[in-house]
Amino acid sequence: MKIYRINMSNLSSTIEEVPDEWRLMGGRALTSAIVAKEVDPACNPLGSKNKLVFAPGLLTGTMAANSGRLSVGSKSPLTGGIKESNAGGTAAQRFAKLGVKALIIEGIPPGDKYYCVHVHKDGVNIKEETELLDKGNYEVIKTLTDRYGENTGVMTIGQAGEYKMSAANISVKDPKGHIRSAGRGGLGAVMGSKKIKFITLDDNDGAGIEIADKEAFKNAAKIFNKGLLSHPVSGDALPKYGTDVLVNILNEAGGLPTKNFRRGNFAGAEKISGETMYDTIMERKGDPTHGCHVGCVIRCSQTYNDKNNKYLTSGFEYETIWGFGAGCEVDDLDIIATADHECDDIGLDSIEMAVTMQTAMEAGVISFGDGPGILKLLGEVKEGTPLGRILGNGASFTGKAYGLTRVATVKNQAIPAYDPRSVKGVGVTYATTPMGADHTAGYAVTANILKVGGFVDPLQKEGQIELSRNLQVATTFIDSCGLCIFVAFAVLDSGDVAQAMVDMVNAQYGTKSSIGDWFELGRTTLQTEKEFNRAAGLTSKDDRLPEFFSEEVPPHNAIWDFTNQELDSVLPF
C-alpha cells in the first residue's frame, strides 16, 4: 500500500511507500501515529504546521461487515489536542481499494484561492475551485455526483469549514448521496485552513486489497457477520429504531440531560423517541433502515421525510435528537430533523451545535423550548454573522462570550447525551479520553444502562474506572480496524465474535497475534495521543468535568463524585 501526500504550500504531491512501523496500523492508530510523528504539538491548528490525515481502517475494503469507516486525524482547533474523528460514507473503501493507506495533507497555499483535490489510482490532481465556494454540502455533493457520476466518493466542507469554525465537520457522501460526518473536533476548519473545499475519490483500476490467507479471512468474516446479525441489539433494535431508541431508556433511567443538564428526564421524551420516529418514518414513506456504507449489515441509519413525504434528513442520531430536543426542551421531531439537516448542510458537528444552543439558551439569546429560534441561530452561523461566528466556534466559546459557568464541555468539546452523574461510566470517559468529551471513546452506556458486556450500576462509582479504561482500549482498536463502533455489542457479548474480528486482521496481514496483542495497539495509540496532548500543553487538570456537575441532578439526585486521583488512574500513562 501507499501513502499519498499533498503539500498545499506549493500544490505538489508525492506517492510514498508505507514505512514498516505503520504497516500494521490503520484508522485511528494510523492517523494518531502520523499526527504525533509529523505535527508539532505546539502548532496553531489552523496554521501551516498542522496536517490533516485521512486513513481507512485495517479491515476497510474487505468483505468484513461494517468495516468501511474512515478516520480523520489532526490537531484539533476545538480541543487544542490530538483528534481522530470517524465517519461512514463512500470515502474509506475507495481509499482502501486504491491501495492508499493514508492521505496526508500539509501546508497552506499562499493567496485566497480555494482548491479541490481528486484522488485516483495514479495519485492526486489539485485544481482551483470557484463554482462551489460558499455552497452547502448537499449542493456540493449533488453537483459533484452530476459532474463525476454516482460512483465517486466525496468529502466536503460546508460554509462552517470555510469560516474555519471550531464546530466545522468534514462531510462524507453516503451511498444514497446523503451525508455522514467526521463530526467532532473542528476538522472541517483544518480542511478550510488548507483551502480545500472538497476531495473526490475514484477507485477505478485501484491496486485492490491484499489478503494473506483468503480462506481463513472468509471463515472469520462469516462468523463475524453472523455474530452481528444474531445479536439482538445489532440484529433487531438498531435496524428498526436506529440509535434514537435510546431516548426512552435514558429518560426512564434518569440519564437524559434536560435543559442544559438540569434534570435527567424530559417530559417530552416520548415525542422525540425512536418509537415515535419509527412510526413517523413509516407514515411518511421514509426508510427506517439504511446503511451508511456498503457492507454495513446493521444499518442503523434511516431516511426521515417531512410532512409532505419529502426527504428531510438521514443519519438522524440519538445524540443530535437529545441535544436539540431534551437538552433544549424542544419536543418537536420535525424541528430537530430540520436542525440536523442544516448542520449537515452547513457542515457543523450536530452534537457541538446542540450543546451550543443549550448554552445560548442559558445565556438568554433565545429561550429554552424555542425550536424556531434554534433554526434562526443556525441561519446566523450559515451567514457568518458576528453572532453566528461565536456560535459556530462551539459551546465553550459561546459560554465564554456570555460569561457563563454552566457550560457542558471537556477540553472545550461538548458533552453528549448521557448525564455523567447518572451514567457514571461514560462520565469517566468524557473526562479522560484524549479526544475531549466523546461518548464513543469508551461507551460505558453498554454496561451501565444496556446490560451489554455485563452490568455496572450507573449510579455507583464501583467498577466505572476499569469499565471506562477497558472500553477505551478496545474502542481504539475497533476504530483502527475501520469497524463501526456498533460491532461492539456483539464483540462484548461474545468471545467468538471478538476472536473472529482478530482472526480477520491476522488473516489479512499474515500475523498471528492474540486479542490481547491487538488490544495493545489500542493502548499504545492512547499513549501516543496522551503524549501529544501533554506536549500541546494539556494537563491532568483538563481531564476533569466542569464544576457544575457537583450539583445534584434529579430524579436520582446523583452527583459527580470521582476524585482527581481516581480520574488520573484511568489511563495512567
Footprint on this chain of ligand SF4 (rule: CB under 6 A): 66, 88, 291-293, 296, 298-301, 484, 486
- 104, 53 Cβ separation under 8 angstroms: yes
Q: Which amino acid is at 454?
A: G
Element (DSSP H or E) covering residue 128: strand 123-129
Determine how many CB atoms are found less than 10 A away from the CB of residue 241.
Answer: 24
Residue 253 binding result from ligand SF4, other proteins, none, given CB thresholds of 5 to 8 Å by partner type: other proteins
Q: How far is the CB of 303 from ligand SF4 (least distance, A)?
A: 12
Q: Is 234 left (phi over 0), alpha (psi -120 to 50) or beta?
A: alpha
Please spell the DSSP secondary structure of 272-339, one letter per residue: GSHHHHHHHHHHTT-EEEE-SSTT-SS--EEEEE-TTS-EEEES--HHHHHHHTGGGT---HHHHHHH
Measured from the CB atom, is 123 or 463 closer to other proteins? 463
Cell, residue 367: 429561550
Q: Which residues of the shown chain bind other proteins in the complex (CB under 8 A)?
A: 231-234, 236-238, 240-246, 248-249, 252-254, 265, 270, 274-275, 300, 317-318, 446, 449-452, 455, 457-459, 486, 489, 555-556
Measured from the CB atom, is 303 or 413 closer to ligand SF4? 303
Residue 489 binding result from other proteins, ligand SF4, none, given CB thresholds of 5 to 8 Å by partner type: other proteins
- 58, 480 Cβ separation under 8 angstroms: yes
Q: Is 462 left (phi over 0), alpha (psi -120 to 50) or beta?
A: beta
Measured from the CB atom, is 222 or 451 closer to other proteins? 451
Measured from the CB atom, is 201 or 300 closer to other proteins? 300
Q: How far is the CB of 485 from other proteins (least distance, A)?
A: 10
Residue 274 binding result from ligand SF4, other proteins, none, given CB thresholds of 5 to 8 Å by partner type: other proteins
Instruction: Give which of 144, 168, 50 is closest to 104, Cα–Cα.
Output: 50
Residue 248 binding result from other proteins, ligand SF4, none, given CB thresholds of 5 to 8 Å by partner type: other proteins
Q: How far is the CB of 452 from other proteins (least distance, A)?
A: 6
Measured from the CB atom, is 88 or 427 closer to ligand SF4? 88
Instruction: Give which of 239, 289, 567, 281 is closest to 431, Cα–Cα.
Output: 567
Measured from the CB atom, is 362 or 479 closer to other proteins? 479
Three-state DSSP class for 547? helix
Q: How far is the CB of 249 from other proteins (least distance, A)?
A: 6
Residue 451 binding result from ligand SF4, other proteins, none, given CB thresholds of 5 to 8 Å by partner type: other proteins
Measured from the CB atom, is 118 or 461 closer to other proteins? 461
Q: How far is the CB of 241 from ligand SF4 (least distance, A)?
A: 12
Q: How far is the CB of 479 from other proteins (least distance, A)?
A: 17
β partners of residue 40 = none
Measured from the CB atom, is 225 or 234 closer to other proteins? 234
Separation in Å, CA 35 to CA 72, 84, 501, 530: 10, 10, 26, 12
Q: How far is the CB of 451 from other proteins (least distance, A)?
A: 6
SS (H, E, C) 183-249: CCCCHHHHHHHCCEEEEEECCCCCCCCCCCCHHHHHHHHHHHHHHHHHCHHHHHHHHHHCHHHHHHH
Residue 296 binding result from other proteins, ligand SF4, none, given CB thresholds of 5 to 8 Å by partner type: ligand SF4
